Amino acid sequence: MDVILGIDTSCYTTSVAVVDMATMECIKYELIMLSPEKGEKGLRQSTALFFHVKNLPEVIEKLCKNENFNIKGVCVSAKPRPVDGSYMPVFEAGVSVARSVASALGVPYYETTHQENHIMAASNGVFEHDFYAVHLSGGTTELLYVKPLQTGFDVRIVSATEDISFGKLVDRIGVRLGLDFPAGKALECEAQKGKAVFVPKIKLYSGNICLSGAEKQFMDACDAYSREDIAASLFDYIGKLLSKWIGYNAEPQNDVLFAGGVASNKIIRGIIESSKELQNIRCHFADPDLCRDNAVGTALIGVKKYKAEHEI
């Protein structure tokens, strides 16, 4: 089977994937989450880079064990976003291994970005027309206008958070409530047992969003309400603010794709799907496993780059 190998080394996940070149289907992927010490709210770039160097041989070994892949090319997420100057040290681990594997096998080496990886994994390239994408992850909250290209995407930021991301808000409140970082999944489980009893005012700032004020309000409220009710209130707030934000910035009758780990939250998804602000906008949610960090989109983009290079 002819495949493209994809590698992505984000701030909190070491991931690899292979995609069938003929069908554009993901055959297999493996990943390892990077875990900070208990009580910590994140990882230093240097620490994450060390974990990636340690994890990559293991995930590649698991990916290829008992398989008969004919790797025709290697594609890697080399930087966070498809703009000049975009850089994070964590991606150097993936670049180093990807270049080494491609050189050893004598196959082409390709580069893409972490953001394009998210968009491709969530959409699988089904949009032939322009669309909006909402990138919601631990470090990113951006509403994007996306133009599909032959080998990736042209991405323009329409609006973004002016301070912290939704992912950071969730993790900080989760840690404050005694949960381990990253706290998204555990906090969602708590929210399913609670009620939205405390929701800060939903408002925009010149079409953008600011979350530090809400963070302080939720931090203070942690002493007054149960963990379950704070969790339910937090996701209710996020879902309603996202609906208002997207409805203000996106054009009616357009497609909006949700990508990134926060987009896998079922409570937030339910609020958005029932939102009156978005009733004239077509919202698309990927499989939750393809919302979180993974290398599937990187491998898919690698297939497109290979076919364009070889005029297939």
Give mean pLDDT in consecutive 10-residue pieces for the chain, a chain of 312 residues: 97 96 96 82 90 98 96 98 94 98 98 96 88 92 96 95 95 94 94 95 94 97 97 98 96 94 94 95 90 94 97 86
Per-residue b or e along 209-234, where b marks 16 or more CB atoms closer than 10 Å to that residue's CB = bebeebbeebeebeeebebbbbbbbb
How many residues would you count in the chain?
A: 312
- 231: tokens are 């969790």
Distance CA 267, CA 296 (A): 25
Which residues lie closer than 8 Å to 58 by C-beta, 6 or more apart? 32
Q: Which segments of the chain belong to CATH 3.30.420.40?
A: 2-127+291-309, 158-287
19 three-class SS: strand
Q: What angle do CA 137, 165, 50 make, to 5 degrees?
A: 55
pLDDT at 24: 94
CATH superfamily entry for domain 158-287 = ATPase, nucleotide binding domain (3.30.420.40)
| pTM of the entire predicted model | 0.93
Per-residue b or e along 47-63, where b marks 16 or more CB atoms closer than 10 Å to that residue's CB = ebbebbbebbeebbebb
- 27: tokens are 């055959």
131 three-class SS: strand
pLDDT at 39: 65
Are 43 and 10 in contact, with CB atoms under 8 Å apart? no
pLDDT at 288: 87
For 98, how many CA atoms within 13 A lie in the half-sphere containing its CB?
A: 32
Determine whether domain 2-127+291-309 maps to CATH 3.30.420.40: yes
Strands (E), the chain: 2-9, 13-20, 26-33, 70-79, 109-113, 131-136, 141-149, 152-160, 255-259, 282-285
